[in-house]
A and B are shown apart, each in its own frame.
Chain A
């Protein structure tokens, strides 16, 4: 499976600011996804990061709040914009590799918004 890293691993941010989370994979992958896991909850898919085009967002998530980039096959960023305490969560990057259906997760970014 691919080795996935995320930066930062954790952060504490002030209300109204923005944070960009990076996801780096050690090999080319076909699909990259961004999930959110709020305290005590399961994973919710935010969007699919498409290489070279706009991300595909799930219901309830919009580009203005969660802009996503994927400039190549190994890297993606998720920005959490104009943060509020409700955005406090773990944000996880996930990937699939060519010919495989299984998804593998990065270590996550733990975000606390004050």
Chain B
């Protein structure tokens, strides 16, 4: 079992709709959770991080964390073509001294 799992996609969403990206993790000791966006040919860019159960909103982005079920999700409202990218879920273990583990990423395509 991979430590951080994501559906590779591609996930195709019409412009203006809500894109929902999901991620599960295996280590219950995980404390911090991150979402990165990576455009083709570019390096990953941090979108959001979340530490506590529940929702965290930042503009059109909402991160959701459920530690009991070991999943974290990212919702993108009012999806735009510029949101088309690969989204990487990343998890930090409590004992890892800042090391974070990345999922394989989900390719998101917003169709006009």
A contacts, CB < 8 Å to B: 1, 30-31, 33, 41-45, 48, 90, 92, 96, 101-108
Contact = CB atoms under 8 A, between A and B. Distances in A.
A104 B46 CA distance: 7
Contacts of A48: 97-99
Interface stretch (B54-62, B75-83, B102-110): B102-110
Interface of B: 32, 34, 42-46, 49, 88, 90, 92, 97-105
A42 B34 contact: no
A31 B34 CA distance: 17
Contacts of A92: 43-44
B43 A103 contact: no
Contact of A45 (B45, B99, B103, B105): B99
B34 A102 contact: yes
A31 B98 contact: yes
Contacts of B43: 90, 92, 105-108
Nearest to B92: A101
Contacts of A103: 34, 46, 90, 98, 100
A113 B35 CA distance: 31
B46 A102 contact: yes
Contacts of A96: 98
